[in-house]
């Protein structure tokens, strides 16, 4: 496992992870990224940590927060006229 064959460094690898997860790396970069992933245990672990981070961030929709003036908005909604319905 000689570093020059890996083509990208670990320092470069960590900057490409979100682009990789979004599937938007250009072909050449994708090949380098995958090649590096295969050969570098440190970056494989980093990628695992990053994936777990993204998974843990997903909390689902925010708790409902009712505005203080909901009644006022509802009145405005009811008052507004749909088109073609005179």
Partner 1 sequence: MPRGQTATLADINGAAGDGNERLLVAALRRREEAAFVALVRRYNGLMLRVARAQLGEHAAAEEVVQETWLAVIERIDAFEGRSSLRTWMFRILTYQAWARLERDGRQIPFSALASADAAAPDPSVDPSRFFPRHHVPRPFFWQSDPREWPEEALLAAEVRSVIGAAVDSLPDSQRVVITLRDLEGWAPNEVCEALQISEGNQRVLLHRARSRVRDALDRYLEDGKR
For residues 3 and 35, give the distance between their C-alpha atoms in angstroms, rounded to a whole number.
Answer: 12
Site for partner 1 in 28-67 (CB under 8 A): 40-46, 48-50, 52-67
Residue closer to partner 1, measured from CB, 38 or 52: 52
* Site of tokens 């064959």: 5
**One of 5, 7, 22, 32 touching partner 1 (CB under 8 A):** 22
> Exposed, middle or buried: residue 43 (CB in 10 Å: 0-12, 13-18, 19+)?
buried
Q: Integer distance in angstroms from the first to the last C-alpha of the chain?
A: 76
| Residue ranges that bind partner 1, judged by CB under 8 A | 2-3, 9-12, 14-15, 17-19, 22, 24, 40-46, 48-50, 52-67, 69-70, 73-74, 76-78, 80, 82-83
């Amino acid at each position: 496992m000689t570093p020059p064959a890996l083509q990208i460094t670990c320092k470069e690898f960590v900057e490409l992870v979100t682009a990789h997860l979004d599937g938007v790396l250009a072909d050449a970069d994708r090949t380098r990224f995958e090649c590096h992933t295969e050969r570098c245990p440190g970056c494989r672990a980093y990628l695992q940590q990053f994936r777990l981070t993204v998974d843990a961030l997903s909390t689902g929709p925010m708790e409902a927060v009712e505005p203080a003036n909901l009644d006022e908005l509802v009145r405005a909604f009811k008052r507004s006229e749909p088109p073609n319905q005179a």
